[in-house]
Amino acid sequence: MDQLLKSLEHFKIIPRKKIIKGGKGNYRGAGLGNSLDFYGHKEYNYGEDLKKIDWKAYGRTQKLYTKSFEEEKQMDVNIILDDSLSMDFGEPNKWEMAKYIALGLGYMTLKQNDFLNFYTINSTLEEIMKKRKGKEHFYELTQKIKDIHPKGDTHFENILNMNHFSSGITFFISDFFTKELDKIIDFLTIQNQEVILFHVLSQQEINPLYGQELKLIDVETKESRKIEMNHQMKEIYKEKMKKFIGNIEKSCTSRNGRYVLSQTNDNIIHIFQKGLGGI
């Protein structure tokens, strides 16, 4: 854990989009404000603050112009961690990988003094932390994540019921075994969120090695299916998995989001590099 946090010292979460909502902060907003970043001139209108008049420009043009500056906003970082039973699977375990990604992102958010909102989702959406700011909340975050254990099944539509997302970045960590992901990404984009998906999958899911006749049991729903696990079945499944990963990546990138395939046997630092690099 310490090694991970040390490695993350060099990473920074920077939004690509302008922040629309939220209080005054350190990131470019969508409107005009009082930052030091010059935006441009406009003709003076009656009633405007006289302090904003550019007198040098008046001297040159004999017309009154006011100087405009960019707005600076506070960024909210939302982390949604899927803690449904399907995440407790694979060797190395998907849940362990997902927890570390969430902790790393939370640590970086708190370190750079942005607001951290932390949610878990399974059959219900649970708000774990709200509007926390500052490194001092990291211990609280670790304790809370430690107490979370995967349970229940996946119902991502609960995200749609939330209507007070502050403008910023939403990190979504899940295996995304759902058909409603498009709706969720659309919803978050409308909420002016920059969406970054961490798609956590184990090797057993990507390339299953089971042989013979099997009774597959869904760990979430307890539903079962009998299959003849032969070469043909294996190949079809792998093809489906490839298509599934491709579809999620396409859904995300087509909405200006970022997609990171996080296999449980991957190096976690590489996963952060892929997720945060260039932001």
**Could you tell me the smallest distance in angstroms from the CB atom of residue 94 to other proteins?**
7
**Could you tell me the smallest distance in angstroms from the CB atom of residue 149 to other proteins?**
16
Between 206 and 268, whose beta carbon lies closer to other proteins? Answer: 206
User: What's the token pair of residue 216?
Assistant: 């597959």
**Could you tell me the smallest distance in angstroms from the CB atom of residue 257 to other proteins?**
21
- How far from 232 is each of 227, 237, 245, CA to CA, in Å? 11, 9, 20
CB 171 within 8 A of CB 198: yes
Between 117 and 202, whose beta carbon lies closer to other proteins? Answer: 202
Between 245 and 269, whose beta carbon lies closer to other proteins? Answer: 245
Between 6 and 226, whose beta carbon lies closer to other proteins? Answer: 226
**Could you tell me the smallest distance in angstroms from the CB atom of residue 75 to other proteins?**
33
Between 76 and 205, whose beta carbon lies closer to other proteins? Answer: 205
User: What's the token pair of residue 112?
Assistant: 């750079």
Give the Cβ contact number of residue 61 at 10 Å. Answer: 11
Name, in order, each residue with C-beta under 8 angstroms of 163's C-beta and a sequence gap of 6 or more: none
List helix spans (H) across 112-174.
Answer: 138-146
Q: Which residues of the chain form contacts with other proteins (CB under 8 A)?
A: 86-87, 89-90, 94, 175, 177-178, 202, 205, 210, 212-221, 223-228, 230-233, 236-237, 240-241, 244
**Could you tell me the smallest distance in angstroms from the CB atom of residue 105 to other proteins?**
22
**Nearest CA-CA partner of 264 in 175, 162, 154, 167:** 175
Question: Pairing relation of β-strands 193-201 and 65-73?
Answer: unpaired
